[in-house]
C-alpha cells in the first residue's frame, strides 16, 4: 500500500511539474512594441503583424509574438520615444525623425546603411471635393486667393514636412528660383485654414467638410478607395517621393530582451511578402520587382523628385525646419502681413 502511494505521489509530482512547465511556457509570449506614424497603422495591425507572427512562430518552434502599437504624428512620436516611450521598433514618416532618436543615443547601430532604412514610399497628392468643382490640378491652383487648403502641422507631422518640400521642390523643378519657391510657400500658408496634428487628422477634417483641398499622401487616398469610398485625388505634375524609414531602437529592445525579434521584424518589412501587403494598402514598393507588379496602380510621375534633389535631409532639416529656418520665418511673419 505504501509502495503504491509513493508511486502515485511520484506520478502526481511529475504531472504538476508538467502543468507548471506548460504554464511557464505560456507565459513566454514575447511582446514587441512598435511606435509609428499614423498612416501605415492599419496595414501593420491587420496584415503585416499577423504575417510576421506566423513566420516567426514557424521558424521558432511555435514561439508567440504579441504586438503593442502606438500611432500618431511622426515628429511627435519621435519626441515621445526620446522622452521615454520605450519602442522596440519605430516606423516613421521622416529620416530626420529616426535620426533624432539616433542622436539621443537610443539607436546605436547604422540603421540606414546603404539607404536600407527605408521600407515604403508614396507621393504627395491633392485630395479634392467630389467633381473637383474648383478644377484644382496643380500647385499654382492651390495658391490662388480664396482656395481653402488643409495640411498637417510641420512641427508635429512628418506628412506636413513632405507637403512643404513637395511644393518648394516643384517650383525649383519647373525652373523657379528659391525666391519663387519661398513666395509659393507663403501663398500656401495664407490659404491653409487649419493645421492638424497629423496626416490622418487632416483628412478627417476634410471629410467633415473643412476646406476645398487636402494635401495628402497617395497611399492615404488609395486606402480610402480600398475601403470602398468614392474619393477623388489629383497627382500634381511635379511632386516628391515620400520615403518612410523603420529602425530598431537598440536601447529599448535590449532592455526588453526583444532585439532579435525587433531586428527580424524590420527585415521582414523589406521582404517581398510585406512589400506586397504594403502595395495592397496604397504604398509604393521599395522592391523593384514588386514595383513592376503594381505598375498599373502606381503610374510613374514624370517630374517627381526625391529628398536628394533638395540637398538631403541634414541640409533640409536645418534650412527648412530647424531654429531660424525658412518655415519658422514664414510662420512668424505671415500672420502679421
Q: Quote the pLDDT of residue 335.
A: 65
Q: Which residues contact 78 (CB under 8 A, 6 or more apart)?
A: 90, 92, 97, 98, 100, 101
Of residues 226, 281, 221, the one with CA closest to residue 42: 281
Other Cβ atoms less than 10 A from the Cβ of 82: the count is 16
Copy the grid coordinates of residue 31. 511582446
Which DSSP helix (H) or strand (E) runs through 121? strand 118-128
Residue 252 to residue 86: CA distance in whole angstroms: 6
CA nearest to 285, candidates 264, 301, 269, 309: 269
Q: What are the DSSP calls for 212-264, one per residue?
A: SEEEEEHHHHHHHHHTT---EEE--SS-BEEEEEEEE-HHHHHHHT-HHHHHH
pLDDT tens sequence for the chain (337 residues):
444 434 333 333 333 333 333 444 444 689 999 999 988 999 999 999 999 999 999 999 999 999 999 999 888 999 999 999 999 999 998 899 999 999 999 999 999 998 889 999 999 999 999 999 999 999 999 999 999 999 999 888 877 899 999 999 999 999 999 999 999 999 999 999 999 888 888 889 999 999 999 999 899 899 888 888 899 999 999 999 999 999 999 999 999 999 999 999 999 999 999 999 999 999 999 999 999 999 999 988 889 999 999 999 999 999 999 899 999 999 999 864 4
How would you label 175-189 residue by residue, b for 16+ Cβ within 10 Å and e otherwise?
Answer: ebeeeebbebbbbbb
Torsion of CA 16, 20, 22, 24, to 10 degrees: -170
pLDDT value at position 5? 38
Between CA 72 and CA 194 the distance in angstroms is 18
CA distances from 86 to 91, 99, 217, 269, 306 (A): 13, 16, 28, 20, 31
Task: For 139-199, give the DSSP string.
Answer: HHHHTSTT--EE---TTT-HHHHHHHHHHHHHHHHTT--HHHHHHHHHHHHHHEEE--SSH
| Torsion angle, alpha carbons of 192, 118, 234, 311, to 10 | 60
Classify residue 40 by burial, with Cβ atoms within 10 Å: 0-12, 13-18, 19+: buried
pLDDT of 65 reads: 95
Output b/e per residue, 200-230; b: 16+ Cβ within 10 A.
bbbbebbeeeebbbbbbbbbbbbbbeeeeee
Domains of the chain: 29-120+243-293 (3.40.190.10), 122-242+300-334 (3.40.190.10)
Amino acid at each position: 500500500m505504501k509502495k503504491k502511494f509513493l508511486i502515485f505521489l511520484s506520478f502526481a509530482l511529475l504531472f504538476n511539474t508538467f502543468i507548471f512547465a506548460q504554464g511557464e511556457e505560456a507565459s513566454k509570449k514575447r511582446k514587441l512594441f512598435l511606435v509609428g506614424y499614423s498612416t501605415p497603422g492599419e496595414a501593420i495591425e491587420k496584415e503585416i503583424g499577423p504575417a510576421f507572427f506566423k513566420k516567426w512562430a514557424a521558424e521558432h518552434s511555435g514561439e508567440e509574438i504579441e504586438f503593442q502599437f502606438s500611432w500618431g504624428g511622426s515628429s511627435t512620436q519621435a519626441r515621445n520615444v526620446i522622452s521615454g516611450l520605450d519602442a522596440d521598433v519605430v516606423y516613421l514618416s521622416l529620416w530626420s525623425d529616426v535620426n533624432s532618436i539616433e542622436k539621443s543615443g537610443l539607436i546605436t547601430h547604422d540603421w540606414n546603411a546603404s539607404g536600407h532604412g527605408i521600407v515604403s514610399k508614396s507621393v504627395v497628392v491633392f485630395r479634392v471635393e467630389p467633381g473637383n468643382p474648383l478644377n484644382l490640378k496643380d500647385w499654382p491652383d492651390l495658391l490662388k486667393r480664396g482656395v481653402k487648403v488643409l495640411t498637417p502641422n510641420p512641427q508635429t507631422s512628418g506628412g506636413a514636412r513632405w507637403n512643404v518640400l513637395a511644393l518648394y521642390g516643384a517650383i525649383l523643378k519647373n525652373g523657379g528660383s528659391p525666391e519663387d519657391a519661398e513666395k509659393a510657400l507663403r501663398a500656401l500658408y495664407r490659404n491653409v485654414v487649419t493645421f492638424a496634428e497629423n496626416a490622418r487628422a487632416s483628412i478627417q477634417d476634410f471629410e467633415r467638410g473643412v476646406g476645398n483641398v487636402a494635401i495628402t499622401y497617395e497611399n492615404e487616398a488609395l486606402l480610402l478607395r480600398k475601403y470602398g469610398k468614392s474619393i477623388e485625388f489629383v497627382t500634381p505634375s511635379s511632386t516628391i517621393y515620400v520615403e518612410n524609414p523603420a529602425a530598431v531602437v537598440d536601447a529599448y529592445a535590449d532592455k526588453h530582451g526583444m532585439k532579435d525579434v525587433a531586428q527580424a521584424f524590420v527585415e521582414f518589412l523589406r521582404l517581398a511578402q510585406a512589400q506586397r501587403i504594403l502595395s495592397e494598402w496604397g504604398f509604393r514598393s521599395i522592391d523593384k520587382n514588386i514595383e513592376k507588379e503594381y505598375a498599373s496602380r502606381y503610374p510613374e510621375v514624370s517630374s517627381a523628385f526625391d529628398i536628394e534633389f533638395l540637398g538631403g535631409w541634414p541640409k533640409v532639416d536645418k534650412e527648412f525646419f530647424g531654429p531660424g529656418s525658412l518655415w519658422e520665418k514664414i510662420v512668424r511673419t505671415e500672420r502679421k502681413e
